[in-house]
Every structure is written in C-alpha cells, then in structure tokens.
Amino acid sequence: MSRRSFLLPLLLLLSALLTGCPKQETLGSSAMGVLGPGVVNNPKNKSLRFDILKFGLDRFCMEMTRRGAPLKLADDQPVIGRFFAQSCNQTVIDDDSRKSLVVQYSGKGYGWTNLTGRIGFTATGLTEYAPDFQLDDDGAMYIYFRPRKVDATNFQTTLVESALARGGIALTGTNPDQVGRQIVESQLRRGFTVIRYNSDGETDFAIGYVPKGQKPFKPFYIKSERLTLANDRTEVQSGQQDFIGGFEVEDSGKAFYLTMSADGAPAVDVFVVPKFLGDQMIQHYVTNAGPAALSQAPLLDEPLVAGQPWKRFVRVPKGQYYVVIDHTPQVGRTAPPAVTGDNRAVKVDYVVQVDDAP
C-alpha cells in the first residue's frame, strides 16, 4: 500500500479518560445525571461544563505516559507507528477568560513510510488545549480537545533504517528534523476526541473532531461484557514490529483476552511481554536497524495465521504489558515471505480485553 509522508497524529495525548475513572470523576458523572444533558450541553454554562471536566483532567499526564499513541494517516487507516510519552507536565488554567489545559511532553516513537522505511524519533512540545464536552442521548460523553496554541515543538530523528533513504536525504540536503517538526505541529493542530461510553471505562479515541452520536472506525463489533482496552488495525511491514500498549491490569486473578485476524502475509508472531521488557525493546527499536530481540521468554508466544480465527487468553499478574506483533525472520517462529513492492505489509486487526481469568 502506498503511503504519504509519515504523519504524527497527535503524538499522543491519549487522554485522561482512556482507562477507569477516579472517585472524583464518578462524582462528576453523578452530578451530570442530576442536571441532565440539556443543562450540561448548554454552551452558556461554560464554567459549569469546565468544572465537571476538571474531574478527569488531573489524570491526563498519568494516562499519557502509560500507553503508546497510535499514529495514522486517517481514522479508518491502519496504524503505521506509535509515540510513547516519557515525561508529561500539565497545568489547568481556570479563569473567566481562559479555561485551558496546558500540556508539556517529551517522548520517543517510530513510524514507517515507503520512502524512508522505518524511522525512529524523539519529540518534545507544549500544547494548550481548550477542552469541552457534549453528552448524547445515550449518556456517552464526547470530550473535545481543541488546540488553542501549539508551541516549542521539537522533532529529532534517531534512526533512518533504509540505507537508500539515507542516501536520498544526503543528496537532496533535506533536513528530516525540520520536516518532522512541521508534520508534528500540523497534526497537533487537529486536536482529538475522547468518547467515554459508560462508567466501566469503555472509551474511544480519535484524531480530530468526532460529532456527537458518531463513533470512530473499529475493525471488530464487540458484544462481550469484558473491558475492551483496544480495538484497532495495524499495518506491519516485512522486517518490522509493532508494540501495542502498555495495558494495565489493576487486580490479581485477571487475564488478557485477544482476538485477532491477519491479511497480507501467511503469518506473524504475537507476543505478550511485561512493560519493562517492552520498554527495552522499544528503546532498541527506535535507535537501531533490525528487530528488537526478546531477552527473555514472553508470557504468550504464538503465530497468528492469516485467514484463520484466532482467539487466545493469557493469565497475567497485576502490572502493565505490551502486545507485540513481529513480522521478522529473526525473532519468533514465523518469517515474512521474500517479496517486494506494496504487498510486503501484513494488516492485523486486534482486540485486547481484560477480565477475570478462567
């Protein structure tokens, strides 16, 4: 599949509401139930709406540093890379003329394009958002983060894997850092939407604006009552890996339930690894050519065969974890076919859920 230049949708800023809510936020939900959508949605009640929203804003940075943000060309397109925040500082500005969330962040990530192959990068920035929300008739909460100011964004390339791409950059005098910074800033200005469906923490995340009542693209329709942590599509090129997570298990006696399908290659490998191991692999992956090796046995190590139903569960202790998709000959049991052109990629649709262990 042909790809345009690597886009960095939102670098992030995953959201204070991507996981379960704190007690304060529960109080906010109760207050909204008493007031009703008509009162809460009224744009004249600006202070009331911001006061309710503040119940979740205090978790913004905590959630941002937990999970990698998927990078896409469009909401209905596969993931082509991820950004992992390593530091985050936030300030809520609450006065009559300026009700904002200011976020300063730094982190690292990777992406893939047909022009550069894999690139690794670091990025830092400061963005001021004007947060707001709407309630639909079913009680879902649409939280909008509209950028008010994008400032001090920095992008530094740590890896251009393709030798051919490195030669082209040198020949044309292109500054990949400057290009990357422009891409980052343009994507940050799109803002993002978080949709919280219920008090169990079921949420959706999308770049840009999602109108009230609509939903972002999801590859799977889910009827299960299990808590869904991810429902998305990734595209992994031959010789590449993808690190999905980190996913947190807050209690003992739990398990991950994985549902996946693959298309475009005979098979890929699926691993579940603890966060410390995943972090080590990601650090290697954004700074070194080739795949990141497993330094110890993963909790799950199984091939995902194209065209076959694939459902697995893995019992896990309390902690944080990554799901790794491996499409390389060096790591895992499978190896990508020796082909060239646009058909090198494998598309993987995936659902990650957590529930009591069987």
Q: Choose among 123, 152, 159, 140: nearest CA to 12.
A: 123
In angstroms, rounded to a whole number, what is the distance separating the alpha carbons of residues 13 and 144?
A: 12
The tokens for 273 are: 């690894």
In angstroms, rounded to a whole number, what is the distance separating the alpha carbons of residues 261 and 350?
A: 7
φ, ψ at 313 (rounded to 5°): -135, 150
φ, ψ at 272 (rounded to 5°): -115, 125
**Tens of pLDDT along the chain (358 residues)?**
333 333 333 333 333 333 333 333 333 343 334 334 443 444 544 554 555 566 556 667 777 788 888 877 666 678 888 889 999 998 888 877 788 888 898 999 998 877 677 889 998 988 898 888 788 888 788 888 888 888 766 888 898 887 776 776 677 776 667 655 665 666 677 788 878 776 666 677 777 788 988 888 889 988 888 989 999 999 999 999 999 999 999 999 999 999 999 999 999 999 999 999 999 999 999 999 999 999 999 999 999 999 988 999 999 999 999 999 999 999 999 988 875 554 578 999 999 999 999 9
* Chain position carrying tokens 């001090």: 152
pTM confidence score: 0.81
DSSP 57: H
**End-to-end Cα, the chain, rounded Å:** 40
φ, ψ at 284 (rounded to 5°): -65, -40
Q: In this structure, which amino acid lies at residue 115? A: L
In angstroms, rounded to a whole number, what is the distance separating the alpha carbons of residues 118 and 112?
A: 4
